[in-house]
Amino acid sequence: MTDEKNQGTLWASAKTSELSPPYHPLIRELAAEKNLPEDSMKSLLTHLFSPEAEKDRQFLYENARKTANETFGNKVYLRGLIEFTNYCRNDCYYCGIRAGNKKASRYRLTREEILECCHEGHDLGLHTFVLQGGEDMAYSPQDVADLVSSIKATFPDCAVTLSIGERSHEDYLLWYEAGADRYLLRHETADEAHYHRLHPKNLSLKHRMDCLYDLKSIGYQTGAGFMVGSPGQTIDTLLEDLAFLKKLKPEMIGIGPFIPHKDTPFAREAAGSMTQTLVLLSILRLMHPKALLPSTTALSTIAENGRELGILAGGNVVMPNLSPGSVRKKYMLYNNKRSDGSEAAQHIDELARRFEAIGYTIDFGRGDAPSHTL
């Protein structure tokens, strides 16, 4: 898939600037100050999204790599991803497991099956388990708490990350007290109108943001983030995303290209591009030098070497898939989502070789976020 075919809505707003401001000084200022005034950020982002900015993009990636190396060395942290249910009560327009997708073949894993995945991951050397799923109310809050405490009791040297959507303060607190260490909840977009373009009326940006602040105040290492090139995204909505993340100060930031799913209302929308995702990864690295930034599955879905490119743009985490083979194809968030080959935790050796080839080594530790300094 080429970037040209894959330009999404953003290129339209990314007009080539006739009067080129000096972009290298702006990138240096971003690296030194970890932020830029809004108009400078807008001009830099617009330029970096333009086809002729390749040299400047390379300069940006180099700076982001250097910044990541200063905190993390040439290490890539691993997280074992267990997609334990694809039932969801929500109807997000972009998502393949939305409630309204009657073609999705639904599954949920039992506590024993989830623990079995953790055993397999632990045997492979993994020390973080990410339990992700739709908002599936068939697991009661106490079921989730029991699951977390069993995992922590069986694998006391491991971190548990939850990623199961918007829930009450009581649920988040219960799970934290059961031992959950981290929580991933992408904000998806920080722009109100854009949020409504992506979600039905019963979902609100305010509630999602409140959940993120709540998670942080409880003490979770918290992850936010967004899709790149989602329908309706513009340079201005991206500026709002960058400003929101600066304010939230998340320990983790997950971004990846939007990819359409054939059985959703966005089936005919264009996918987000590799270039835009890499530029934003690098900008986020410079704005949040110590954040954990995954090079996502979506990135490796749009290009064979996407995961490596994400690391070379300043990412420092990958999340190999630990879900049982029998359900992997059912957690289909978007068309052609990769889940086998080097995406599978069982092929960590291949992953290690691929990272070695670009000068990185896999770190098998828990990979906690360093204390946050902005």
Residue 49 or 226: the one with the smaller Cβ distance to ligand SAM is 226
Identify residue 316 by its one-letter amino acid code. Answer: N
Q: What is the size of the binding site for ligand SAM (CB under 6 A)?
A: 20
Q: By CB under 6 A, name the one of 186, 285, 307, 328 that touches ligand SAM.
A: 186
Distance from C-alpha of 68 to C-alpha of 291, rounded to nearest angstrom: 9
Q: Beta partners for 294?
A: 317
Distance from C-alpha of 37 to C-alpha of 22, rounded to nearest angstrom: 15
Q: Beta partners for 183?
A: 162, 222
Question: Least Å distance between CB 162 and ligand SAM?
Answer: 9
Q: By CB under 6 A, name the one of 116, 135, 146, 240 that touches ligand SAM.
A: 135
The reply on whether position 227 binds ligand SAM by CB under 6 A is: yes
Identify residue 83 by its one-letter amino acid code. Answer: E
The reply on whether position 259 binds ligand SAM by CB under 6 A is: yes
The reply on whether position 109 binds ligand SAM by CB under 6 A is: no
Q: What values do phi and psi take at 24, rounded to 5?
A: -60, -45
Site string for ligand SAM, 37-76 (x = CB under 6 A): ----------------------------------------
Question: Least Å distance between CB 239 and ligand SAM?
Answer: 19
Q: Which residues contact 10 (CB under 8 A, 6 or more apart)?
A: 49, 229, 233, 234, 235, 238, 272, 273, 276
Question: Least Å distance between CB 134 and ligand SAM?
Answer: 5
Distance from C-alpha of 261 to C-alpha of 264, rounded to nearest angstrom: 6
The reply on whether position 127 binds ligand SAM by CB under 6 A is: no
Are 355 and 361 in contact by the 8 Å Cβ rule? The answer is: yes
**SS3 state at 256:** strand
Buried b (16+ CB within 10 A) or exposed e, 170-194: ebbbbbbebbbbbbbbbbbbbbeeb
Rg (CA), the chain: 19
The reply on whether position 158 binds ligand SAM by CB under 6 A is: no
| Region of 149-157, 255-263, 282-290, 308-316 interacting with ligand SAM (CB under 6 A) | 255-263
Residue 122 or 338: the one with the smaller Cβ distance to ligand SAM is 338
Identify residue 357 by its one-letter amino acid code. Answer: A
Residue 165 or 367: the one with the smaller Cβ distance to ligand SAM is 165
Distance from C-alpha of 111 to C-alpha of 361, rounded to nearest angstrom: 33
Site string for ligand SAM, 87-106 (x = CB under 6 A): -------xx-x---------
The reply on whether position 287 binds ligand SAM by CB under 6 A is: no
The reply on whether position 302 binds ligand SAM by CB under 6 A is: no
The reply on whether position 204 binds ligand SAM by CB under 6 A is: no
Residue 273 structure tokens: 């591009």
Q: By CB under 6 A, name the one of 49, 61, 129, 334 that touches ligand SAM.
A: 334
Question: Least Å distance between CB 24 and ligand SAM?
Answer: 32
Are 183 and 218 in contact by the 8 Å Cβ rule? The answer is: no
Residues lying near ligand SAM in the complex (CB under 6 A): 94-95, 97, 132, 134-135, 163-165, 185-186, 188, 227, 256, 258-259, 261, 298, 333-334
